[in-house]
Amino acid sequence: MMTLQKTVLLSSVLLSVCWGALQEPRNVSQYHEMMRQGHAKITQGESEPDFIHRFNGTTMLQKMLSLDSMYNQALLLKKEFITEFTSGIKMSAGCGVGLKLLLDGLKERSLWSIKMLDAIGKVPSGIYDGDFIWPGQYDECIAISQAFTDRITYNMSFLVRGKYFVAGLWNPVGYNTTDLRMGVCLPDACNAADVKQVLELAFLELYQYTNKTIKLSLKYVYHPETKYKSTPEFIVSSVICSIIGFLLLLGTLYDMFINQGVDSSEIGDVRINKQDSDAQSVNSDTTHLMSDGTRVSVLSFRNKVLHNSVLRKFLLTFSISTNGSKVLNTDALPPSAVQAVNGVRVLSMGWVILGHTYFFTLGSSKNVAAALNWTQRWTFQIILNGIYSVDSFFLLSGLLVSYLTLKELQRRDGKLNWLLFYFHRFWRLTPAMMLVILVYTAYFQYWGSGPFWPNTSPDYKNCKDYWWRNLLYIQNFFPISEECMGWGWYLANDMQFFVLSPFIIYPLYRKPLIGYIIALAVMIMQVVYRAIMSVQLDMTLNGAPNQEEFFDKMYQRPYARIAPYLIGVLTGYFMWKSERRVKMPKVVMVLGWIIALVCVSSVIFGTTEQYRGHKSSTGVTALYNSLSKTTWSLGVAWIIFACNIGYGGFINTFLSARLWSPLGRLTYCAYLVHPVIMFIYSMSQRYAIYYSDINIVFLFLGFWMATYGVAFFVSMAFEAPMIGLERLLLRRNKD
């Protein structure tokens, strides 16, 4: 009951700041009835005095507090205490005037002052389920606008508007700490410093008033607002996006109205038909009068562009029509394509979005304590162990790099331009990533509003100071608290693995035994490292008491995650070496599928008993944490391998279905933008999110569809043009 007592007194003191010396309480109608009839007042035109006359502000305060006991606590705050309290506040002159008008309005029961009081956050039900977010009514607060006319002193009119603040409080509860977030609505003349003084003095008085049994401290006060600022990143982003937007428009219009309506025979390389350049040829579309009156025949813009190979290809790289048709193409994959990859990729991305649906909304959850009970379900282990979806990405990346590189080495008799090998990868990933970072950093604050909305992007400071780490793909060697776009750790790992891949792939091509030894040695290194760290960090299965230390030393370090990539490299090698023509007895095939399913199932559902209170021993925990990545990857590797050698059955039919192809091409951009979409949703809410199965399902589906919708446009603007430019620069484009 101590927690409830603290929260009751807290709200009582805060509201008493604005309440002042009200009349003694009288028995009147219910608060919700006043709100209902308030709507009637607005719609039916009832005058404000008539409406206010039928209600008493004191009872309204009682109902606002939600609990009768809170009202009783408020009555204990005697007028002497209120006088002493308000006299100790040193606030700005404008805020003092605004608060005086608010107190006068409450005494007179003015509707605007009642709305301002109504908009303040109050203690809700469900505190013991973890509801420590009391936002109040953000939109009601900022909509308040009351005009006053001071004809005696200044002979002028002025407005009092509502201004919303969020107060972050630190409330000790036993051995745990719980953050409280409370909305405060005050006149717009007040600033964060004024609110901070009011709250700090309130906590001090409350500490004295309760005989030093209740101690609350203020962590922060901020005013969520959106202001357009000409910051360097805003200017740079605006310029770059304007240029890209212009090129997209120009390229698309050219493609649709000029290029697509021309027969391919009309387009040469750079040669121009003699008739087009003949000065005697006169055509209404190709002639104009010069200033000297001489008629000169010139090439039409259409023919110039059509016959200028470089310009034509450049414009087409920005065509949404052409690039979109390529991305959305669902034609059957050629026999040489690796089977099941798109299905695994898209399902893994869906798994990432599902896990992040819980993770990114947890901070604004209304019933986080109740939601923690879900961890005991065996089905919920799929969510808790969604971290293995990233290992599937590592596996796919290693497999494709290995398989395609080995085929290229075979085609070129063991020779490969390794500089181009690295450049292609860097160019394929970096422009899109850096442009997303730039837009996210520069524009995020303008994409929403509300009590939870930040004044800058969540990663603004880190991205402004440390964006170069993302450019160099080294951000995973720094603490998560310093990372720009924290989810970019995966991209850093993947690039680092790619840089190291030739040192395994080339030995596999020349001397397979050496390649096996290198790969096996690195995998053993990872197993040993993870086992040691599991003990040092006192880990549970896939977790640790210190989550930040766990993330830094275990989750994002390349030497703790490389085994899935290496298993992918070896799988790609076996597929290349066997030319995907492997015959095996039916018993072996069935046994392989059984082992694979046991591997993936044991990793996912092996944590169930831990969340039901049965803690594993240190040895068992270290064994699981050291081998789980490898075990999972071996199971997924078999599924892909079996699908490519003809033993996939209906699973291969499902994973290789055409519908996965467009989504598979958008996966990279989907990974880049999906947390931003979740930030926008969760931070623009007016109230805390209530966790329930059906709510999470619909949130996941909404995030999933919105992610791929946004990813399509990001791909058209940032990814596809860069790929086309690379081909143009390296003269690799083939019409």
The 10s digit of each residue's pLDDT in 649-693 is: 999 999 999 999 999 999 999 999 999 999 999 999 999 999 899
**80 vs 664, higher pLDDT:** 664
pLDDT exceeds cutoff 80 at 155: no
**315 vs 219, higher pLDDT:** 315
Per-residue pLDDT, 418: 94
Stretch 176-191: mean pLDDT, rounded?
Answer: 81
pLDDT exceeds cutoff 90 at 6: no
Stretch 275-299: mean pLDDT, rounded?
Answer: 38
Token pair, residue 304, equals 């110039």
Query: Please, what is the Cα angle at 507 between 503 and 510, to 5 degrees?
Result: 145
The set of residues, in sequence order, having a beta carbon less than 8 Å from that of 184 and lying 6+ positions away, is 14, 120, 121, 136, 164, 165, 166, 167, 195, 199, 221
pLDDT exceeds cutoff 90 at 718: yes
Stretch 91-118: mean pLDDT, rounded?
Answer: 83
Per-residue pLDDT, 269: 43
The set of residues, in sequence order, having a beta carbon less than 8 Å from that of 211 and lying 6+ positions away, is none
Stretch 345-358: mean pLDDT, rounded?
Answer: 96
**570 vs 312, higher pLDDT:** 570
The set of residues, in sequence order, having a beta carbon less than 8 Å from that of 108 and lying 6+ positions away, is 52
d(CA 67, CA 123) in angstroms, rounded, equals 8
**How high is the mean pLDDT of the chain?**
81
pLDDT exceeds cutoff 80 at 631: yes
**700 vs 101, higher pLDDT:** 700
pLDDT exceeds cutoff 60 at 291: no
Per-residue pLDDT, 436: 97
Looking at mean pLDDT, say which of 8-12, 35-39, 136-140 comes out highest.
136-140
Query: Where is 165: in which H helix or E strand?
Result: strand 156-173
The set of residues, in sequence order, having a beta carbon less than 8 Å from that of 468 and lying 6+ positions away, is none
The per-residue DSSP string of 178-197 comes to EEEEEEEEEETT--HHHHHH
Per-residue pLDDT, 502: 96
In percent, the amount of the chain with pLDDT more than 90 equals 54
Stretch 535-552: mean pLDDT, rounded?
Answer: 92
Residues pairing with 365 in the sheet: 689
Cα–Cα distances in angstroms (integers) from residue 197 to residues 204, 217, 394, 403, 696, in the given order = 11, 12, 52, 65, 40
In percent, the amount of the chain with pLDDT more than 70 equals 77
**217 vs 176, higher pLDDT:** 217
d(CA 411, CA 405) in angstroms, rounded, equals 10
Token pair, residue 712, equals 């399509």
d(CA 387, CA 490) in angstroms, rounded, equals 11
Phi, psi of 555 (to 5 degrees): -80, -40
Per-residue pLDDT, 707: 97
Stretch 572-587: mean pLDDT, rounded?
Answer: 93
Per-residue pLDDT, 86: 52
**521 vs 131, higher pLDDT:** 521
| Residue closest to 381 by CA, chosen among 407, 358, 363 | 358
**628 vs 12, higher pLDDT:** 628
pLDDT exceeds cutoff 80 at 595: yes
Rg value, the chain, Cα: 33
Per-residue pLDDT, 289: 34
The set of residues, in sequence order, having a beta carbon less than 8 Å from that of 586 and lying 6+ positions away, is none
Measured in whole angstroms, how far is the alpha carbon of residue 105 from the centre of its chain?
A: 43
SS3 37: helix
What is the pTM assigned to this prediction? 0.83
Token pair, residue 487, equals 């989810």
d(CA 515, CA 504) in angstroms, rounded, equals 5
**380 vs 265, higher pLDDT:** 380
d(CA 625, CA 59) in angstroms, rounded, equals 58
Residues pairing with 295 in the sheet: 289
Cα–Cα distances in angstroms (integers) from residue 447 to residues 135, 358, 453, 679, in the given order = 20, 22, 10, 10
Other beta carbons less than 10 A from residue 172's beta carbon: 14
Exposure b/e, 435-458, CB count within 10 A at least 16 = b: bbbbbbbbebbeebbbbbbeeebb
SS3 691: coil
| CB-based contact 296:281 (threshold 8 Å) | no
Per-residue pLDDT, 388: 96
Query: Where is 297: in which H helix or E strand?
Result: strand 295-297
pLDDT grade, residue 261 (50/70/90)? low
SS3 245: helix
Per-residue pLDDT, 178: 59
d(CA 275, CA 616) in angstroms, rounded, equals 85
